[in-house]
Structure 1
Amino acid sequence: MSCCLCSLLCPSVLWAAIIGGAIYFLKIYMQGGQFKKDTDETGKVFIVTGANTGIGKETVREIAKRGGTVYMACRDMNRCERARLEIVAETNNKNIFSRVLDLSSLDSIREFVAGFKKEQDKLHVLVNNAGVMRCPKTLTKDGFELQLGVNHMGHFLLTNLLLDVLKKSAPSRIVVVSSLAHTRGAINVDDLNSEKSYSEADAYSQSKLANVLFTRELAKRLEGTRVTVNALHPGVVDTELARNWAFFQTNFVKYFLKHILWPVLKTPKSGAQTSIYAALDRDLDGVTGMYFSDCKPKDVAPAAKDDKTGKFLWEESEKWTGLVSSK
């Protein structure tokens, strides 16, 4: 007994325990706000884009546990179906469906919406979750810079094409997953499509700023409809979002840096909490045009409050996507 006690009090063991405990509690702290309220989503219809992995998958899982009907809108049907089967088996909710949606193709978006409307005449929550990050210079099928095309333009068209169903199902919600990166963003009005010059980081930040500007402009246009729209920052989450970022594919990151950063990264489940909060919290009934982080309101960057730029972006988005405004 005394030998065991001495071993426990050994400085090296004691310091290892202290450091281990500190890392453990740091990990817990960094998970951020958690949505813990009970809600019953039976009878409600949801769409979650990019739902086969990461934050999107965890968002679907939580809604499924609460009885909601969820359409998992994904580009890769094999991965989407595997994720769907996993969630159905875990939650025993059979009202989970996988459907093809490629946000880099305007035709695919229109086909998805047409198919959805044939199956459903209501939609209570649209979660615009899918995204790409730090991609090499690439164009969508319609000639848009990929990050702006997928993160903003694709969701812009998708949302607008679903507005009639959302209005008919009101009160309803639109949730837009943005990022803290919007604070580093600027809308390049002279080179929105990055044709003159291209920076992976700048293009990503521009797309995330576009998410917030879109949210705020749409909120104004939806006044009186009982359809709300809010944006959010999920946190720094351990997901596949950085798969296109060459730096994160290096051995240095895979075998060293990722382990060092582990204590400060959110799990996908924790990263989904603010999306779930924005989609389900009854206290947010009627709340619109806001930006959340860790399940709490947070101020946006000054650039995100520029109404003139917001209107410019809306008008350009209408032109790019071929959407005819009703206003």
Structure 2
Amino acid sequence: MSFTRTPSPTSARKVALITGGTFGIGRATAEGLARKGYQVVLTGRDRNRAETAVRQIQQATGNAEISSLLGDFTLTSEVKRLADRFLEQHQRLDVLINNAGGQFSTRALTPEGFERTWALNHLAYAALTLKLLPVLQQSRPARIVNVASGWYSRNLPWKDLTRERGYHAGVAYLESKLANILFTYALARRLEGSGITVNAVNPGMIDTGLGRGSTGLNQLIQVLLQPLRKSPETGAFPSLHLASAAEVEGITGQFFDKTRFRPTARFTQNPELQDRLWKVTLEQLQMAETGLLSGLNRQQVNPSHPVLHP
């Protein structure tokens, strides 16, 4: 598979795609980028909510180039179809912000057989990012921002990623946030020198409704944390910073706490752990079998791979 670069007109607006952009941090991020003059595409599950968000952002910013795409991000097949629809409508992508996420009080498997939290919070990030790498490469310099968390688990249940042996909403969420960080580091290594930067960000404790509907101990934790939560606008600022600030141009493979670089725990810096997550992720997405971006599933990256280098 080869890719050629088609330069976009210098007058064209930069394009940003924001997942989970109909409410919370994603909605505030979409409005922030619209104010900066970006052409913004936001994703959501509900048509009415998406259309309302688009209309309100247009009215608030005076930027008419706001649109939406619909998809259920617990299903990787829908994520890929959404990516195809984006590619039909757009020839460039300057900023991809993987923001959609959730926490579920009960264990459930998606129709594809994945634990729901893992599917939404991690596999959707990976599926969308890898599907859109070619257009990001055409639009270089481009940026990928993965919304993670300052709280994450110390390990992953490699032999039980579907959580058949026991499920806790908070634990599943923290595991997915660790996966966000490891995936960010693994992808950044593979894209080094490509003109595409990849960073993860902790937006802080934000009032987005995450965990609403929780039960038991997790419900108590959510109640106790509520007074500490900030507004979605506050939570959007770190993503906006990584997406658009000149001072972070070219910085890649880092974790930002709000707008400041902060190293994550030492164990997350282990390339073997990152590569294990990478391999498992590609296996789950069946990318190796379908040939999607073949070559990216190698631990040692081919320096001549067209996606990775000009």
TM-score relative to the length of structure 1: 0.81
CA distance, structure 2, for counterparts of residue 304 and residue 267 of structure 1: 29
Find the partner of 2:151 among 181, 187, 196. 181
SS at match of 2:34: helix
Shift of 1:221: 0.5
| Contact 1:211 1:231 (C-alpha < 8 Å) held by counterparts | yes
CA distance, structure 2, for counterparts of residue 55 and residue 223 of structure 1: 28
Find the partner of 1:191 among 143, 156, 160. 160
Find the partner of 1:57 among 27, 40, 55. 27
Shift of 1:141: 2.4
Aligned to 2:118: 148
For the pair shown, the structure with the greater C-alpha radius of gyration is 1
Residue 80 (structure 2) pairs with residue 116 (structure 1) = no
Aligned to 1:287: 251
CA distance, structure 2, for counterparts of residue 185 and residue 153 of structure 1: 19
- What amino acid sits opposite 1:164 in the alignment? P
Find the partner of 1:92 among 46, 58, 62. 62
Residue 240 (structure 2) pairs with residue 270 (structure 1) = no
CA distance, structure 2, for counterparts of residue 269 and residue 279 of structure 1: 15
Aligned to 1:7: none
CA distance, structure 1, for counterparts of residue 231 and residue 131 of structure 2: 33
Q: Within 5 Å, which residues of 2 pair with 1:205-216?
A: 205-216=174-185
| Contact 2:92 2:135 (C-alpha < 8 Å) held by counterparts | yes
- What amino acid sits opposite 2:142 in the alignment? S
Looking at secondary structure, tell me which structure has more helix per residue.
1
The CA deviation string for residues 166-222 of structure 1, in whole angstroms up to 9 with x for no partner, is 01101000000001121x341122222212222222211110000000000000000
Q: Which stretch of the first structure deviates more once superposed, 125-134 or 210-219?
A: 125-134
| Structure 1 runs of 4+ with >3 Å offset | 247-250
| Contact 1:48 1:128 (C-alpha < 8 Å) held by counterparts | yes
Gap change, CA 1:86 and 1:118, over 3 Å in 2: same
The CA deviation string for residues 137-175 of structure 1, in whole angstroms up to 9 with x for no partner, is 011221111111110011101100000000110100000
- What amino acid sits opposite 2:264 in the alignment? V
Aligned to 2:300: none
CA distance, structure 1, for counterparts of residue 221 and residue 254 of structure 2: 35
Find the partner of 1:320 among 271, 284, 288. 284
Aligned to 1:35: none
Unaligned runs of 5+ in 1: 1-40
CA distance, structure 2, for counterparts of residue 194 and residue 253 of structure 1: 21
Shift of 1:304: 1.7
SS at match of 1:241: coil
Aligned to 2:203: 234
Residue 270 (structure 2) pairs with residue 306 (structure 1) = yes
Figure out how many residues of one structure are paired with residues of the other and give that number: 281
CA distance, structure 2, for counterparts of residue 73 and residue 231 of structure 1: 19
CA distance, structure 1, for counterparts of residue 221 and residue 133 of structure 2: 42
- What amino acid sits opposite 1:285 in the alignment? E
Gap change, CA 1:240 and 1:247, over 3 Å in 2: farther
Shift of 1:135: 3.2
Residue 109 (structure 2) pairs with residue 139 (structure 1) = yes
Shift of 1:247: 5.3
| Contact 1:234 1:272 (C-alpha < 8 Å) held by counterparts | yes
| Contact 1:42 1:69 (C-alpha < 8 Å) held by counterparts | no
Shift of 1:79: 1.0
CA distance, structure 2, for counterparts of residue 249 and residue 310 of structure 1: 29
Gap change, CA 1:248 and 1:123, over 3 Å in 2: farther
Structure scoring higher RCO (CA < 8 A, sep ≥ 6) equals 1
Shift of 1:114: 1.0
Aligned to 1:170: 140
Shift of 1:253: 9.1
Unaligned runs of 5+ in 2: 1-10, 289-293, 297-310
Percent identity (aligned) = 34
TM-score relative to the length of structure 2: 0.85
